[in-house]
Amino acid sequence: MKRTTETRISLLPLLMPAVTGVSPPNENLVITNPNRPWWERYQPISYKICSRSGNEEQFKDMVKRCNNVGVRIYVDAVVNHMCGAAGGSGTHSTCGSYFNAGNRDFPAVPYSGWDFNDGKCHTGSGEIESYNDIYQVRDCRLSSLLDLALEKDYVRSKVAEYMNHLIDIGVAGFRIDAAKHMWPGDIKAFLDKLHDLNTQWFSAGTRPFIYQEVIDLGGEPIKGSEYFGNGRVTEFKYGAKLGTVLRKWDGEKMAYLKNWGEGWGFVPSDRALVFVDNHDNQRGHGAGGASILTFWDARLYKMAVGFMLAHPYGLTRVMSSFRWPRYFENGKDVNDWYGPPSNADGSTKAVTINADTTCGNDWVCEHRWRQIRNMVIFRNVVDGEPFSNWWDNGSNQVAFGRGNKGFIIFNNDDWNMNVYVQTGLPAGTYCDVISGQKEDNRCTGKQVYVSGDGKANFQINTDAEDPFIAIHVDAKL
């Protein structure tokens, strides 16, 4: 399975142990200045499955092999627009399909001038000029990207045809890119045309899982809630706020996380798709700003992902990235455009696996980091259990449990922690799944002793490699 822009793993209940999101698989504009940026994949030329990650046969093979081992594939669907207005004309597309951006001609779909919103957008530039005008945001061009006229049944049908092709191959659902830039009713119209999932892997009548990229940090007229009828929505406040808390910016502290979730003004839990970072904001694109934690800040990042996976709010997504030569000039990463690790001929480097199970070739594979992988298991073990036994020291030492199945405790203060707290767990010896895990009925890391009354002693020094401990009933000796 090749990853280019990113791989996303979100965690659904136990029946779906692993869920992977893939970069846009359809044909896109080939951009050579800069040299093959990751973001060229957000400039569609056609709906042929033919990208830098491979062709249709290779995509089918990946989906089949993943489905056969219980890994579900979600596709990033870029259907708000085609390539940028300055994309030119010719066959510089990943499958060599001809197009002419200047006169809106995309014969490989086919789309023509009638299928775009040029006449509908009322700004002087044809671009979105103000996010305070909901008509501009939906009907004008986002960064010059040619905006599709999704009120037309023809356009809706072409989009649905593309998505149905993917569903028939075996994908389990979609991330709807730039959903804020489409009218909720237009999204509903093409979603209503979608097939049920492929019965080779899914039970009859299963609908595709949908989550919509709507950036709503508050302060704009378009609200995530307008999209609830279509599926989940991305909750961007989540990563921005969690990063602020763990960095201790703006006077925030972990003790305030006691009412994390709706209590922080987030969308209802059953509507939320949450994440610490994504492929945009880990490199300064999109929303969230400087507080966003990423693999570059590994220690705080593991704590943030650990907190997210332990907490019951939302449907969680784990990021998996590639490293790039990040280089700041005047506060901006001038290399934010870098594509995936690639060979001299432009082909993407393989995701090699090291002896310690981490990835090589500059693939970061956060999902394989022991702390993150083990917290995914934690989330599955505690699924459905209530948020319980919150404890805090009024500062940055906090703990909480999930019923009688799991417990997690953090020390993000500048002093050592030594506490005796209620875990809610049955008496016994548990393996900490952060410093190690349970193997052959012994712990490879720290051990935690829970006494008959459910209490346990936790010591976490401020300079610990990972200043948090997590235990659950499947890691009990």
Structural element, H or E, at residue 138 = helix 134-139
Provide the minimum distance between the beta carbon of 44 and ligand QV4 in the complex, in angstroms, as a whole number. Answer: 9
Provide the minimum distance between the beta carbon of 5 and ligand QV4 in the complex, in angstroms, as a whole number. Answer: 8
Provide the minimum distance between the beta carbon of 98 and ligand QV4 in the complex, in angstroms, as a whole number. Answer: 19
84, 306, 312, 467: which one contacts ligand QV4 (CB under 6 A)? 84
Beta-bridge partner residues of 407: 401, 471
Query: Residue 147: which of ligand QV4, Ca ion, none does it interact with, CB under 5 to 8 A by kind?
Result: Ca ion
Kindly name the residue from 6, 177, 226, 432 that is annotated as catalytic.
177
Query: Residue 285: which of Ca ion, ligand QV4, none does it interact with, CB under 5 to 8 A by kind?
Result: ligand QV4
Asked if 39 interacts with ligand QV4 (CB under 6 A), we say yes
Binding mask 257-296 for ligand QV4 (x = CB under 6 A): -----------------------x----xxx---------
Tokens 């999101």 appear where?
A: 21
10 Å CB burial of residue 225 (0-12, 13-18, 19+) is middle
- Chain centroid to Cα 309, Å, comes to 13
Provide the minimum distance between the beta carbon of 428 and ligand QV4 in the complex, in angstroms, as a whole number. Answer: 45
Provide the minimum distance between the beta carbon of 182 and Ca ion in the complex, in angstroms, as a whole number. Answer: 5
Asked if 215 interacts with ligand QV4 (CB under 6 A), we say yes
Q: Is the CB of 178 or the CB of 257 nearer to ligand QV4?
A: 178
Q: Is the CB of 148 or the CB of 460 nearer to ligand QV4?
A: 148
Binding site for Ca ion (CB under 5 A): 80, 147, 181
**CA count, 13 A, side-chain hemisphere, 195:** 18
Cis preceding-peptide flag for 107 (omega within 30 of 0): no
262 has catalytic annotation? no
Beta-bridge partner residues of 74: 21, 173
DSSP-H helix ranges across 323-456: 370-381
Query: Residue 43: which of Ca ion, ligand QV4, none does it interact with, CB under 5 to 8 A by kind?
Result: ligand QV4
Asked if 78 interacts with ligand QV4 (CB under 6 A), we say yes
Provide the minimum distance between the beta carbon of 473 and ligand QV4 in the complex, in angstroms, as a whole number. Answer: 38
140 contacts: CB under 8 Å, gap ≥ 6: 117, 121, 122, 123, 126, 127, 128, 129, 147
- Mapped onto helix, strand or coil, the DSSP state of residue 243 is helix
CB 425 within 8 A of CB 449: no
Structural element, H or E, at residue 333 = strand 332-333
252 has catalytic annotation? no
Asked if 7 interacts with ligand QV4 (CB under 6 A), we say no
Asked if 213 interacts with ligand QV4 (CB under 6 A), we say yes
Q: Sign of dihedral through CA atoms 64, 67, 71, 72?
A: positive
Provide the minimum distance between the beta carbon of 58 and ligand QV4 in the complex, in angstroms, as a whole number. Answer: 23
Asked if 143 interacts with ligand QV4 (CB under 6 A), we say yes
Q: For residue 231, which of 166, 264, 187 has the smallest C-alpha distance? A: 187
CB 52 within 8 A of CB 4: yes
> What beta strand segments (E) does 330-467 contain?
332-333, 387-392, 397-402, 406-411, 417-422, 428-431, 438-439, 442-443, 447-450, 455-460
Q: Is the CB of 127 or the CB of 385 nearer to ligand QV4?
A: 127
Query: Residue 336: which of ligand QV4, Ca ion, none does it interact with, CB under 5 to 8 A by kind?
Result: none
10 Å CB burial of residue 454 (0-12, 13-18, 19+) is middle
Tokens 């506060």 appear where?
A: 331
15, 69, 86, 344: which one contacts ligand QV4 (CB under 6 A)? 86
178, 191, 267, 293: which one contacts ligand QV4 (CB under 6 A)? 178
Kindly name the residue from 40, 76, 147, 213 that is annotated as catalytic.
213
Instruction: Please report, as a single letter, which amino acid is at residue 233.
Output: V
Asked if 177 interacts with ligand QV4 (CB under 6 A), we say yes
Q: Is the CB of 6 or the CB of 147 nearer to Ca ion?
A: 147
Query: Residue 84: which of ligand QV4, Ca ion, none does it interact with, CB under 5 to 8 A by kind?
Result: ligand QV4
3, 26, 42, 413: which one contacts ligand QV4 (CB under 6 A)? 42
450 contacts: CB under 8 Å, gap ≥ 6: 423, 425, 426, 427, 428, 429, 430, 456, 471
d(CA 208, CA 187): 14
**Catalytically active residues, by annotation:** 177, 213
Positions in the binding site for ligand QV4 (CB under 6 A)? 39-40, 42-43, 78, 84, 86, 127, 142-145, 177-178, 180, 213, 215, 280, 285-287
